[in-house]
Amino acid sequence: MSDIEKDLVHIARLALEGRRPDLVAVVRRSLRSLAGRRPDLKEQINAVLTLASASPPTREASRLPIPADNDSRAELIRRDDQPGVAIEPTWPAAVEKALGEFLLERDREAELRAAGLSPVRSLLFIGPPGVGKTMAGHWVAQRLGRSLLTLDLAAVMSSYLGRTGLNLKVVLDYARHQHAVLLLDEFDAIAKRRNDDAEVGELKRLVTVLLQAIDQWPSDGVLLAATNHPELLDAAVWRRFDRVIEFPCPTVPEIRSSVERLLGASAAEDLGEILDTLAALLGGQSFADVARQVNAARRASVLRGIPLSEALTELTSELVRAAPLERKLQFARELERQKRSQRTISQITGLSRDTIRKHLGKGAPTGGRK
């Protein structure tokens, strides 16, 4: 085994063990040796050596105490050293593509730097509530193997003049020196348009602090921000982020896939027809709303000792009974295509059998399959 191959094995072991200072030392030694043999790689090697010199001593920095408000002593940031999501998310196609590209850049960071390029370091998530923006922050941190730092907005905001801006600056300074992912949730609360006359000067000054922090964010850092109200953001904020990812409300197929993952593969396999119907009725709702209702049905199944299919059918019935007439009739037609009887359709939808006969004709049998 050659020296370079031995170094590669050593580097891999140090990286997997998370021993960054030792890893940097071996990388420096190996690259300096390589520079003597490969003068054609001198420029790229020097770029990597510069990066190694600038790398923060993350193991020592991680021991720094979490910053707290001077008056309340409340911690200004929440730290999760083992971030993750309980169930693998179902991302809309465009979101999955954008997140995948971001992670790929991080996986191949060395190649980008060798070419004189830097990976994306800041992402802005926009979209309505409950569509997965905050979850994406946890998911990204998990995939990168980094801690997740989340700004505690309630602790940062202070009634004392100038204190909110100071708190925010302390948080950003702390996060910059951590090998972690920083998530600024409810971003519009601290990054509002500076021409909004309704806001006091203190909140407007926060934007200046944020702009400076984003501009100076380290190239190996990851800064994420999420907002339900992108229309409130200051125009200058948009230009600072490397990429904006829009999270739309999920489609019916995406909802079905999400429900399948909530239930598990084995359970979902036996509930195909119910899931088709349920996903259609949940169309237009967020992932969070879908999860809330499906998990309520799962709890009902356990606590009442009834089959999961029965609990989900009850949920389906509740959803369709609350729907407007046209939606009920649409669902009744779907049940008819499934060869359900008029009696069963009436029980599920709450429509009278006369109404079913009038609008569906004689297609649905009067008895038979339930």
Q: Among positive and negative, which fits the CA dihedral 40, 42, 45, 51? A: negative
pLDDT tens sequence across 71-123: 788 899 999 999 988 888 889 999 999 999 999 999 999 999 999 999 999 99
**What is the C-alpha separation between 40 and 29, in angstroms, rounded?**
18
- Contact between residue 91 and residue 73 where contact means Cβ atoms under 8 Å apart: no
Residue type at 255 in one-letter notation: I
Q: How confident is the model at residue 61 (pLDDT cuts 50, 70, 90)?
A: very low
pLDDT range class, residue 58, cuts 50, 70, 90:
very low
Which own/partner pairs from 289-293 qualify as long-range (CB within 8 Å, at least 24 positions apart)? 289/130, 290/250, 290/255, 290/258, 290/259, 291/258, 291/262
Query: 325-337 and 272-281 are packed helices; what angle lies between their axes, rounded to 10 degrees?
Result: 160
Which of 32-36, 154-158, 193-197 is predicted least confidently? 193-197
Convert 254-270 to b/e letters by CB count within 10 Å (16 or more is b): bbbbbbbbbbeeebbee
- 36 versus 228: the higher-pLDDT residue is 228
Highest mean pLDDT: which of 38-42, 297-301, 328-332, 365-369? Answer: 297-301
Pick from 152-166, 221-235, 346-360: least confident: 152-166
* Predicted pLDDT of residue 30: 82
Reported as a single tens digit per residue, the pLDDT across 290-319 is 999 999 999 999 999 999 989 998 898 889
Three-class DSSP category at 152: coil
Check whether 19 has a pLDDT greater than 70.
Answer: no
**Residues in the chain, overall count:** 370
Least confident of 111-120, 128-137, 179-188, 191-200: 191-200
Q: Which residues pair with 226 in a beta bridge?
A: 125
Query: Do the bridges between strand 77-80 and strand 243-246 make them parallel or antiparallel, or are there none, so unpaired?
Result: unpaired
| DSSP class per residue in 321-358 | HTS-HHHHHHHHHHHHHTT--HHHHHHHH---HHHHHH
User: To the nearest whole percent, how much of the chain has pLDDT over 90?
Assistant: 41
Task: List CB contacts of 56: < 8 A, sequence separation 6 or more.
Answer: 177, 178, 179, 218
The single residue listed with the structure tokens 């380290």 is 218
Confidence of residue 202 (pLDDT cuts 50, 70, 90): low
**240 Cβ contact list (under 8 Å, min separation 6):** 122, 210, 211, 214, 215
The two tokens of residue 281 are 């009725």
pLDDT for position 369: 47
Considering the domain 62-246, what is its CATH architecture? Answer: 3-Layer(aba) Sandwich (3.40)
b or e along 11-43 (b: 16 or more beta carbons within 10 Å of the residue's beta carbon)? eeebeeeeebebbbebbeebbeeeeeeeeeeee
Give dist(CA 126, CA 114) in Å, integer: 32
335/256 Cα distance (integer angstroms): 18
Residue labelled with tokens 């359709």: 345
Residue among 323, 325, 324, 315 at smallest CA distance from 279: 315
- Is it the case that residue 132 has pLDDT exceeding 70? yes
Domain limits, the chain = 3-55, 62-246, 252-360
